[in-house]
Structure 1
Amino acid sequence: MIKSYIKIAVRNLKRNISISLINVCGLALGISTCLLISLYITDELSYDRYNKQADRIVRVVFKGNVKGGDIKEAHVMPPVASTMKAELTDVQETARLRIGGTPLFQVGDKVFHEEQLAYVDASFFSMFTLPLLKGDMLTALAEPNTAIISEKMAQKYFNTIDVIGKELPMKGSESILKITGVMQAIPKNSHFNFDIFTSIEALEDARSTSWMTSEYYTYALLKKDASLKQVESKLASLFDKHVGPQFMAGFGMSYEDYKKTGNNIGLYLQPLTDIHLHSDFVYDLSPSGNISYLYIFGVIGLFMLLIATINFMNLSTASGSKRFKEIGVRKVLGAGKQKLLIQFFTEGILITYIALLLAVVIVLLSLPVFNHFSGKSLEIQQLSPFTTIPMLIGFGLLIGLFSSSYPALYLSSFNPIMILRNRFNVSTKGLGLRSGLVVFQFIVSVGLIFCTVVVSRQLDFMRHIKLGYDKENVIIVQSWPLGSNEKAFADRLAQDSRILHISHSSYLPAGATYNNNFFIYPKESPNQWVKTLRYDVDDQYIPTMGMKLKEGRNFSKTYGNDSLSVVINETAAKNLGWNDNIIGRTLTDKDNQILQVIGVVEDFHFKPLHETIAPLVMVLSDQAGNLIIKTKATNMEKLLTTVKQQYNAFPSDLPFDYSFLDERYNQTYQSELKTGQLLTIFATLTIFVACLGLLGLAIFTAHQRKKEIGIRKVIGAKVSDIARMLSFEFIRLVFIAIIIASPIAWWMMHMWLQDFAYRIQVQWWMFAVAGLLAIIIALFTVSTQAIRAAIANPVNSLKDE
C-alpha cells in the first residue's frame, strides 16, 4: 500500500513538474535559511559553555553612576579576588587574569611576536576547562616566570609539544619564562583567547592591597548551592568596607560624602555564560555579541520557515484543484477520506524530504558566504551526526505533515458526484484563508524591507556624521618596535612634502585604543569630582587629527610649563560647571597635581555613536607607541612604500605595520554592518519565497475563474482589462500587508535605534520605499500569470458548458 502511495505521489510530481519545482525550491530556501540561522544562534549561545563549571563561574565587574558618565569596566582591583575568597563563604575559588602586552620571544636566532600574553593565578586552570596535553594544571603556574603555552605555539617555536622545561627568553627584558605546560587550543566560543599564560606571581602589582587601581579580570567559582543575588549583596558590603578607608587618601573626601553627591559605584557579578551576549563593558577581553540580534534573526528564521510552509499549502492547493476529477473517480471506486489523506500526506512528506536534502546542500555551499557576512567560522562538522540526522528526519516529518495538512483536508473533502458533474463550489472561506496567508507573508516582507532601509540609513549616517576630527588620509604606523630610533624615523618622514603633520600618541578616537579614567575637580570645589577620560598626546596631535579649538591654545614647545597644562573638551567644561572664563582655570587630580587649562577643543566623537560624548582631558606626553600621520597624498600606495622603506632603514624585530584611521572607525561598527548585510540577504530571500506563494494563489485563482474570464472575453473584455482585474485583487492584499506591517516595523526599528545616542529619525519616505518595492515585486509576480490567463482562448474554458 505504501509503495502504491509513493508511486502515485511520484507520478503527480512529474505531472505538475513546474509547481513541484517551485514547491521544492521554496521549502528548501526556507529550511536552509532556518538551518543557517540556527547554526548562528547556537554558536552565539554556546560561548563559554564548554567549561564544565560554567553555571557556577561569575566575573566580577566594576559599575557605577558618577558625574561625567557611567562607569562600566570589565576589570577590577588587585585584592578583590583574595578578599572575596577570604570573606565570602559562598565563594569556593577565585582566579585573576591580567593582560601582559605584546611580548617578543627569542628562540635561537628567531624572534617571535605574540599578540597577547596573559598573567593568571595558579587556580585559573582548575576553574576553567582548559585541558593540558603536558604538565600538571594544579602546579604548572605555582612559581613566578613559569608558563603554559598552546599546542600551536609549541609547534611554532619548537616543532614539537614535548617542551616541558624549555625556556622562552623575552627580548628586551631579563625575564625568561620556563614552560611547565602545553594546553589544547582554547575553543573559539570563548570570551578570552590566549596562546600563552604565565604566572601572575611575577607581577609585584598583583600583591597590591590598593582598591584605587584596577586592570585585573577577576573570576569566582561559587559553591553549588550559592545564590548569586545573595553573594552580590555581600560583595557590596565588602566593597564599602575596604574602599572606604582608602577613598579619603585617594580623593580627599570620605566615601560617604562622595556617595551623598549622587555618585554610586560598586562591584557586581556577571555570570560567565552572559559575558558574550550581555556585556557593554569597556576593556573587555573580546568584542561582545548582541542578544537583540539573536532575537531578530531567530524571528526571521521562524518567519522564513512559516512563509515557505504557507507557500507549500497555497501551491499544493492550487495544483490540487486540477486533480478534482481524479479525487472524484477514486472516491467513487471506494477510496475513503482516510486513504486520500494518507496519499496527500505522503506527497507532502516526499516533497519535504526532497526539499530538506536540497536545503542541506544549500547550507553546505553557502556556509563560506554566510561566514563572510556574519564574521563567523561555522562548520557543518560542529554538528554531531548522532543528534543532527534524527533531528533532521523528525524536522522533515513535522514540516511535511504540517505543510500538507491543509491541502489534504481541503482536497479530500469534496463530494465526488458534484466533482464529476463539474458542479462543485470552491469555499470562499478557503480562498479567504489563503489570501490571509499571503497577507501574512507580505507583512513579513514589507517589515524586512523597511528594517533594511532603516539599518542602511543609520549605517550611512554613522559613516558621514561630523565626527569633530578628520579621519581621511590618516595613517597609523606601529612605531614602538624602533625603540630609541622612533624619533629619527619621524624626523625623516617629516621632510616628505606629502606629509602634513606627524603626532606621537597611542590614543586614537577610533578603533582599539588606549584610554583611562581620570578623576578631576575644580581647584575651588574639591567636592565636585568629575570622571573624564585622559588622552596622552603631543603638541602635534590636535592639528594632525584636524580638531578645532573653541578657545585658548594648543600645547606648544615654546612654553616650558605645558607639562602641567591640559586641554579639555566642551563636555568636560560643561560638567565642571564652567560656562565662561575657562582659560587659566585650574584642576586637581586624585594625586593632588594642579593642572592649568590652556585650551578647550570642540567636542569630537572618541567613543562609538552608541554613547554620548563624554568629558575628556588631554595632557602633554612624549610617550612612544604609534605615529599618527596626516597626509595630502593622492597616491597613497607610493607614500606607504616610502614610509616602509624609511622604517626598514632602522633595525627592528617586527615588520612594518600600519592601518588607516577611517578603516579603524569602520571596524567599530562591524557588528551593525554585518547585521545590515544579513538583513538585506534575508529580506531578499523572504520576498522571493513570498512571491512564490503569491504566484501559487494567482495560479489557483486563475484556474478557478477561467470560465468567468472566458465569458468576459466573449462579451468584449480586453486582455488589459482582465489582467488589471486579476492583478488588482492581489495588489489589494499587499496594501493590507503594508498597513499592518508599518506600525510593527516602526516599533522594532524605534527600539533598535535607541541603542545609538546619535541616530536618524524614522521618516515617512522609508515606509513609502518599503511599500512601493513590495507592490512592484508583487505586481511583477502576479502580472505574468494574469496576462497568461487573459490571453488564453475562451473556447477552451467554455467548451464544457
Structure 2
Amino acid sequence: MFKNYIKTAYRSLYKNKGFTAINILGLALGLATCLLIVFYVVDELSYDRYNTKADRIYRVNEDLKLGDNQVQYAVAMPPLAKTLKAEYPYVEDATRIKPAGTTHVKKGNSNIVENKVGFVDASIFNVFTLPMISGDPKTALLEPNTVVITESTAKKYFNTTAALGKTIIFNDKENFKVTGVIKDVPKNSHFNFDFFVSLESFPDSRSNEWLRSNYNTYVLLKDAKDHTKLAASFPAFLQKFSGAQMQSELGMNIAQFEKGGSYFRLNLTALTDIHLNSNLTGELGPNSTKEYVYIFSAIAIFILLIACVNFMNLSTARSSNRAREVGVRKVLGSSRKNLIFQFLAESILITFIATIIAVIAASVLLPAFNQISGKDIILTTQSLKWLVPALLLIVLVIGSLAGSYPAFFLSAFQPIAVLKGKLSAGFKGGGLRSFLVVFQFFVSILLIVGTLVIYNQLNFIQTKNLGYNRNQVLIVQNSGELNQQAGVFKQELAQLPGVKSATMTGFLPTNGWRNTRIYFKDASYDQKKSLFPQSWEVDADYIPTMDMKLAAGRNFSKEMQTDSSAIIINEAAAKFLGFADPVGKTVYQSLGGDRKGNTPNVKECHIVGVVKDFHFNSLRQKIEPIVLTYGQNAGALAIRVGSADIQSLMSQIKAKWNSLSPGVQINYSFMDQDFDLSYRSEQRIGKIFVIFTSLAIIIACLGLFGLAAYAAEQRTKEIGIRKVLGANVTWIVTMLSKDFIKLVCIAIVTASPIAWFVMNKWLQDFAYRITIQWWVIAAAAVGSLLIAFITISFQSVKAAIANPVNSLRSE
C-alpha cells in the first residue's frame, strides 16, 4: 500500500512539473537557510563546551565603584587564584591567564608577528581540556622560560609536532624551551592562544597586591553547586585579604569604603556563559550576545514557516484542478483515510526531495557563509550524529504539517458536488490562504526594516565625528621593539616629505590598551569627589597627530619642564569634576603604596588643557572621563601621512625601520581599518541580514508567483469574456493584482509598528544611535509592494495578453 502511495504521488507530481518545481525550490531554499542558521546558532551555543569539566569552571570577575565611577572587570587580583584554592576545600583548582599582546617569534632570520601568546599558570591543564600530544601537563609550565605550543604552531616553526626541547625566541632576545605540544585550541573557545608561556617567567605573577586587577582568573569547583557558596563567601574573603592594603593605601577599611557609596566586589561567571553573556573590561577576546542567537533562531523559524506556507497555499489553490480526481476516487471506493495518506505521501515526498537539495546546497554554501559570518563551521561525524536524525524528523514533521491542510481539505470534498461542478474555485474565498500570504509578507517586511536600520546604524558609525581623525593615520604596532631607538625612528619619520606629524604612545582610540588611575578633586581626598578615569601617557605631538581639538587651555609642551606634572582632561572629566573653568586647577593622583601619616600617597597634577570629547570606546558606550599625562610611551607609533603615494612612503618607512632594527619585521596597520575591526560583528550581522532577507523575499515571491498563476488559470474564461467586451490589458492586470496587493497592504500595516519596536530595542544597545525615520518604514512598504506587484504582474500580463479565442473555444 505504501509503495502504491509513493508511486501515485510521484506520477501526480511529475504530471504537474511547474507546481512541483516551485514547491521543491521554495522548501529547499527555506531548509537550506534554516540549516545554515542552525549551524550558526549551534556554534554560538557550543562555546567552551569542549571542556570536559565545563559545568564546574567559573571565571572570577571584579566590580569596582568609586564615588560615581563604576567599572566591571573580567580580570582579578594577582594572588586571588592560589588563595582561593588554599582557603576553600571545594575549590579543586584555580588558574590564571594574561595575554602577552603582540609578540615577535623568530623563525630563521626573520621575526613573525604573533598575537595569540598568553602567560598562564601550570594548573591551566588541570582546569581546561587541552589534550597534550607530547610532554607532561603536570610539569610542563612549572619552570620559568618554558612554553607549550599548539600542534599547528609546532608545524609552523619546526615542520613537525616533535618539538619537545626545542627553543623559541621571543622579541629577538628571550629564549623559551618547548616543554609540551597540545592539540589546537578549538575555535569555539573564548580564548585562542597558540603559545602558552609559563607565568613563572613573569615576575608580576608573584605579586601580593589585592587592589590591582590584571589576570583572568578561573576556578574549578569539585561540585558545580558550590558556586553559590563561593560567591556568598566573597565579602568576608575580601575583608580578610584586601582590607589591610585598602587601609594602608586609602586610609579606610572596606566598611568605610562602602559607607561612602563605593564598593569593591567579586562575582562569578560560568565558563559556558562567557561568550554570549559577558562583555566586561578585560575580556580575552570579542564576545557575541545572546540577542543575536534569539534573532537568528526566530529568522530560521520564520523562513521555514514561509516555505511551508508556500506549500500549503499552492496545494489548496490548485484544489479545483484535483477536485474531480478526488470525486472520481471516492466514487470508485477510496476512503477519506486513503486520500489523506495519498496527499500526505505527496507532501512528504516533496519535502524529502527538497531536504536532499537543501543539504547539498547548505554544504556547498557553508564555506561562503563561514567567510561572511567569521565562523569556522565544518560538518564532522559528530555533527552528522544529530543532523541526520534531525533531518529525518524535519521530513516527517514538515511534510505532515505542510501537507496536512491540503490533505484534509481535498479529501473532504463531496463527490456529488464536485462532479456537478458546484465546488467554488478561485483565489477568492480562500481565507486561510489570504492569512498565510499576509504572514509571509509580514515576516518579509520585518526583515527589510531590520536590514535598513542595521545598515543605517553602521553608516552612522562610519561617518560620525569621533572627535579625532582616523583617516590617513599609519600605526606601527611594534615600535617598542626598537627600544632606545624608538625616539630616533620617530624623529627620522617626521622628516619625510609625506609625513605631517608623528606621536609615540601605545594609548590610541582604536586599540585595547587601557590604564586607570584614581584622582581626587581636592586635598580632602574624599572618595565622593574622586575620579577613576582612564589615564593615557602621551607626548606633545599626540593631539595634533590625532587631529583632536582643544576646548580650553593649551597642549603639552616640550619646552616646559613643569609639564611633567601637567594633565589634559576631556570635557566629560571636566563635567564630572564640576569645574566651570578647569584650566589651572589642581587635582591629586593616588599613587598607591603606604600612606604618609594621615595623607594618602598622592601626586599633585595641574590641569593645563581640556580636549574636546572623543570616542575611545565602542559607540555602544557613552564617552567617559579620560586624563592625558605627559610622558614617553613606546607602545606604538602613530604617523599622520599626507602623501598620495602611500606605497612609496611605506617603502621609505620600512627602509628606516630596517636600518634601525634589521631582521625584525615591522608590524603596521591603518587606524581606519582598526576602527572598522571594532564593529566587525555588526558588519557581519548586517551582511547576514541582507542575505536572509533576500532569501525570505524570494521564497515568499515563489509562493505568490504560484498563487498568481493559479488565480489567473482559474479565471481564464472570465478574462476572455472581459477582453471580448473591451477590457484592456491594464484593467485586467489591475483586476488580477488588487486582491494580492490588499493582502500585502495588510501585512505592511501590521508589521510596521512591530518592526519599529523591535529595531528600536536593538538600537538601545548603542549610546550613540540613529533615530528610525519614517522613510525607513515607507521604503520597506514600497519595496514590498513593488516586489509583490512585479511577481504578480508576470502572470497577470501573460493572462491579459492571451488570445480570448483559445480560452472561449470550448464554450
Match of 1:546 in 2: 547
Find the aligned partners of 1:262 and 1:773 in 2 and give their Cα distance: 54
Aligned partners of 1:315 and 1:693 also within 8 Å: yes
Provide closer, same or farther for how the CA distance between residues 113 and 680 of structure 1 changes in structure 2, counting only shifts above 3 A: closer
Q: Secondary structure at the match of 1:629?
A: strand
Match of 1:83 in 2: 83
Provide closer, same or farther for how the CA distance between residues 430 and 275 of structure 1 changes in structure 2, counting only shifts above 3 A: farther
1:229 aligns with 2:239: no
Greater CA drift, 390-399 or 103-112: 103-112
Match of 1:191 in 2: 190
Find the aligned partners of 2:87 and 2:300 in 1 and give their Cα distance: 48
Aligned partners of 2:55 and 2:224 also within 8 Å: no
Find the aligned partners of 1:382 and 1:563 in 2 and give their Cα distance: 63
Aligned partners of 1:125 and 1:138 also within 8 Å: yes
Q: Secondary structure at the match of 1:593?
A: strand
Match of 1:461 in 2: 460
Q: Residue by residue, what CA displacement relative to the aligned partner does 1:158-207 show, whole Å, maximum 9, x if unpaired?
A: 3333333334354554x543332221111111111112223323333222
Match of 1:563 in 2: 564
Aligned partners of 2:96 and 2:218 also within 8 Å: yes
Matched residue pairs, number? 799
Match of 2:288 in 1: 289
Cα shift at 1:66? 3.8
- Unaligned 5+ segments in structure 1 are none
1:653 to 625, 640, 663: 663
Provide TM-score, normalisation by structure 1: 0.95
Find the aligned partners of 1:108 and 1:355 in 2 and give their Cα distance: 54
Aligned partners of 2:372 and 2:684 also within 8 Å: yes
Aligned partners of 1:135 and 1:181 also within 8 Å: yes
Cα shift at 1:401? 1.4
Find the aligned partners of 1:225 and 1:190 in 2 and give their Cα distance: 20
1:349 aligns with 2:348: yes
Match of 1:784 in 2: 794
Find the aligned partners of 1:542 and 1:67 in 2 and give their Cα distance: 29
1:489 aligns with 2:489: yes
Find the aligned partners of 1:497 and 1:148 in 2 and give their Cα distance: 46
Q: Secondary structure at the match of 2:344?
A: helix
Aligned partners of 2:110 and 2:663 also within 8 Å: no
Match of 1:535 in 2: 536
Provide closer, same or farther for how the CA distance between residues 411 and 529 of structure 1 changes in structure 2, counting only shifts above 3 A: same
**Aligned residue identity for 1:604:** F
Cα shift at 1:413? 1.5
Match of 1:418 in 2: 417
**Aligned residue identity for 1:560:** Q
Provide closer, same or farther for how the CA distance between residues 112 and 639 of structure 1 changes in structure 2, counting only shifts above 3 A: closer
Cα shift at 1:360? 1.3
**Aligned residue identity for 1:224:** D
Aligned partners of 1:55 and 1:271 also within 8 Å: yes
Match of 1:517 in 2: 516
1:117 aligns with 2:117: yes
1:612 aligns with 2:613: no
Q: Secondary structure at the match of 1:604?
A: coil
1:596 to 583, 591, 606: 606
Q: Residue by residue, what CA displacement relative to the aligned partner does 1:579-613 show, whole Å, maximum 9, x if unpaired?
A: 22532433332441111111110111111100000
**Aligned residue identity for 2:160:** T
Provide closer, same or farther for how the CA distance between residues 595 and 233 of structure 1 changes in structure 2, counting only shifts above 3 A: same
Give structure 1 regions of 4+ aligned residues with deviation exceeding 6 angstroms.
427-430
**Aligned residue identity for 2:11:** R
Alignment of 1:99-114 (within 5 A): 99-106=99-106, 111=111, 113-114=113-114
Aligned partners of 2:426 and 2:711 also within 8 Å: no
* Identical residues among aligned pairs (%): 44
Alignment of 1:676-691 (within 5 A): 676-691=686-701
**Aligned residue identity for 1:691:** C
Aligned residues: CA RMSD: 2.2
Match of 1:361 in 2: 360
**Aligned residue identity for 2:631:** S
Provide closer, same or farther for how the CA distance between residues 108 and 425 of structure 1 changes in structure 2, counting only shifts above 3 A: closer
Greater CA drift, 200-209 or 558-567: 200-209
**Aligned residue identity for 1:10:** Y
Q: Secondary structure at the match of 1:502?
A: strand
Cα shift at 1:784? 1.8
Greater CA drift, 724-733 or 695-704: 695-704
Aligned partners of 1:482 and 1:652 also within 8 Å: no
Alignment of 1:364-379 (within 5 A): 364-379=363-378
Find the aligned partners of 2:453 and 2:149 in 1 and give their Cα distance: 46
**Aligned residue identity for 1:503:** T
Aligned partners of 1:544 and 1:629 also within 8 Å: yes
Find the aligned partners of 2:658 and 2:358 in 1 and give their Cα distance: 52
Aligned partners of 2:586 and 2:604 also within 8 Å: no
Cα shift at 1:698? 2.1
Cα shift at 1:424? 1.4
Provide closer, same or farther for how the CA distance between residues 641 and 107 of structure 1 changes in structure 2, counting only shifts above 3 A: closer
Match of 2:181 in 1: 182
Alignment of 1:651-730 (within 5 A): 651-730=661-740
**Aligned residue identity for 2:640:** K
Aligned partners of 1:28 and 1:359 also within 8 Å: yes
Provide closer, same or farther for how the CA distance between residues 305 and 138 of structure 1 changes in structure 2, counting only shifts above 3 A: same
Match of 2:20 in 1: 20
**Aligned residue identity for 2:766:** F
Q: Residue by residue, what CA displacement relative to the aligned partner does 1:407-454 show, whole Å, maximum 9, x if unpaired?
A: 111122212222222221249996010100010011100111111111
Cα shift at 1:20? 1.3
1:7 aligns with 2:7: yes
Find the aligned partners of 2:214 and 2:540 in 1 and give their Cα distance: 29
Find the aligned partners of 2:105 and 2:468 in 1 and give their Cα distance: 38
Provide closer, same or farther for how the CA distance between residues 148 and 70 of structure 1 changes in structure 2, counting only shifts above 3 A: same
Find the aligned partners of 2:368 and 2:185 in 1 and give their Cα distance: 25
**Aligned residue identity for 1:613:** I
Aligned partners of 2:519 and 2:587 also within 8 Å: no
Q: Secondary structure at the match of 1:597?
A: strand
Provide closer, same or farther for how the CA distance between residues 711 and 520 of structure 1 changes in structure 2, counting only shifts above 3 A: same
Provide TM-score, normalisation by structure 2: 0.94
Provide closer, same or farther for how the CA distance between residues 421 and 251 of structure 1 changes in structure 2, counting only shifts above 3 A: same
Provide closer, same or farther for how the CA distance between residues 543 and 297 of structure 1 changes in structure 2, counting only shifts above 3 A: same
Match of 1:51 in 2: 51
Provide closer, same or farther for how the CA distance between residues 341 and 440 of structure 1 changes in structure 2, counting only shifts above 3 A: same
Q: Residue by residue, what CA displacement relative to the aligned partner does 1:32-62 show, whole Å, maximum 9, x if unpaired?
A: 0000000001111111000001001000011
Match of 1:33 in 2: 33
- Unaligned 5+ segments in structure 2 are 593-601
Provide closer, same or farther for how the CA distance between residues 495 and 517 of structure 1 changes in structure 2, counting only shifts above 3 A: same
Find the aligned partners of 2:113 and 2:719 in 1 and give their Cα distance: 77
1:329 aligns with 2:339: no
**Aligned residue identity for 2:288:** G
Greater CA drift, 27-36 or 392-401: 392-401
Provide closer, same or farther for how the CA distance between residues 178 and 499 of structure 1 changes in structure 2, counting only shifts above 3 A: closer
